Amino acid sequence: MSVTLPSSLDVWRMVTARRSFEGSLPVSGLTRLVEVLAAPDGEVAYTVDFDRDEFGVAYVAIHANAPLTVTCQRTLEPFVLPVVIDTRLGLITDERDEAALPPGYEALLVEDDGRVAMAAVIEDELLLALPLVPVNPDSTLPEELVVPDEEPPSDGRTDNPFAVLGELKKR
């Protein structure tokens, strides 16, 4: 298992060698991800494994954990959202090959030269894992915005929408 992830690697050689990489990337170095975060703090811990499955499909398995600082859309305050990625990407050279991937695989389109920037792939997966509207589960609305639950006044009887039919039947 290698610790450092090269900036670009030949995925077909990595699959043949069944290579694995483990390490961390600074969040501040992932420029597209930083644009949607409240702060570029923390690191992404990752494990990347190249292999073939029992059907001979070449894949890369990505496991990543990242505490990302996002803005809560309820309170507009920053909070740390733990993001976990566990995905298997089937390596394809043509978009038509995507339909042949087994269930549970996402497609990773590889250029003709076989080179892929894995840090960019990890960044893509993190962007896809972020919620569209992040909400801190520990947050509450300010008092002035909370509408109290009001029960309709009860006079002891319940209105039945079919009561009119019962009256018609009595006639």
Residue 44: which domain range? 9-134
What pLDDT is stored for residue 2 in this prediction? 55
Is residue 165 domain-resident?
Answer: no
| pLDDT tier, 142 (very low <50, low <70, confident <90, very high otherwise) | low
Is residue 61 domain-resident?
Answer: yes
Is residue 143 domain-resident?
Answer: no
Question: The tokens of 37 are what?
Answer: 């975060």
| pLDDT tier, 166 (very low <50, low <70, confident <90, very high otherwise) | confident
Is residue 56 domain-resident?
Answer: yes
Is residue 4 domain-resident?
Answer: no
Phi, psi of 160 (to 5 degrees): -105, 120
Cα(72)–Cα(82) distance, rounded to whole angstroms?
A: 13
Is residue 21 domain-resident?
Answer: yes
What pLDDT is stored for residue 146 in this prediction? 66
The model carries a pTM of: 0.79
DSSP string covering 102-171: PTTPEEEEPPTT-EE-HHHHHHHHHHHHS-SS---TT----GGGPPPP-PPP--S----TTHHHHHHHH-
Is residue 153 domain-resident?
Answer: no
- Please state which of the ranges 18-22, 45-49, 143-147, 153-157 shows the lowest mean pLDDT: 153-157
State how many domains the chain has: 1
What pLDDT is stored for residue 162 in this prediction? 77
Is residue 42 domain-resident?
Answer: yes
pLDDT in tens, 51-109: 999 999 999 999 999 999 999 998 899 999 999 999 999 999 999 999 999 999 999 99
